[in-house]
Amino acid sequence: MCGIVGYLGDKDVVPLLVRGLERLEYRGYDSSGVAVVDGGLSIVKSVGKIKSLKDRLDGRRFPGRLGIAHTRWATHGEPNDVNAHPHTDCKGKIALAHNGVIENHAALKKLLLAEGHRFESETDTEVLAHLIERSLPGRTLGEAVSAALQLVEGTYGIAVVSADHPGTLVGARHGSPLVIGVGDGETFLASDGAPLREHTQRVVYLDEGEMVVIDEAGYRTFTIEGEAVDKQVDELNWDLEQIEKAGFPHFMLKEIHEQPDTVRNAMRGRLLREEGTAKLGGLNLSDDELRDIRRIVITACGTSYYAGLIGEYLLEEYARIPVEVEYASEFRYRNPILDEGTLVIAISQSGETADTLAALREARRRGATVMGIVNVVGSTVAREAGRGVYIHAGPEIGVASTKAFTSQVTVLALLTMHLGRLRVLSQAAGRALATELEALPGKIEKILAGAPAIKEIAVQMQHHDNFLYLGRGPNFPVALEGALKLKEIAYVHAEGYPAAEMKHGPIALIDENMPVVFIATRDAAYEKVMTNMQEVRARRGKILAIATEGDADIHALADYVIPVPATHDAFVPLLSVVPLQLLAYYMAVQRNCDVDQPRNLAKSVTVE
Ligand code: BG6
Ligand 1 centroid – CA 307 distance (Å): 11
What domains, with CATH codes, occur in the chain? 3-236 (3.60.20.10), 241-448 (3.40.50.10490), 450-608 (3.40.50.10490)
Residue of 27, 353, 406 best suited for mutating to test ligand 1, as the one with most atoms within 8 Å of CB = 353
Task: Note the pLDDT of residue 293.
Answer: 97
Ligand 1 centroid – CA 598 distance (Å): 13
Ligand 1 centroid – CA 380 distance (Å): 15
* DSSP run (H or E) holding 329: helix 328-331
Residue of 255, 304, 486 best suited for mutating to test ligand 1, as the one with most atoms within 8 Å of CB = 304
Please give the order of strands across the beta sheet that includes 323-327: 323-327, 295-300, 342-348, 369-374, 388-390
Gap between the Cα atoms of 169 and 159, Å rounded: 7
**Residues pairing with 71 in the sheet:** 3, 32
Position in ligand 1 atom list of the atom nearest CA 404: 16
Contact 5, 190 (CB under 8 A): yes
Main-chain phi, psi angles of 445, to 5 degrees? -55, -40
Residue nearest to atom 12 of ligand 1 (CA): 604
Residue of 325, 604, 606 best suited for mutating to test ligand 1, as the one with most atoms within 8 Å of CB = 604
Position in ligand 1 atom list of the atom nearest CA 301: 11
Catalytic center residues: 2, 603
| Residues lower than pLDDT 70 in the chain | none
Burial of 527 (0-12, 13-18, 19+ CB in 10 A): exposed
Query: Pairing relation of β-strands 515-520 and 542-548?
Result: parallel
Ligand 1 centroid – CA 379 distance (Å): 14
Residues with a CB atom less than 6 Å from ligand 1? 301-304, 348-350, 353, 356, 399-401, 601-605
Ligand 1 centroid – CA 302 distance (Å): 5
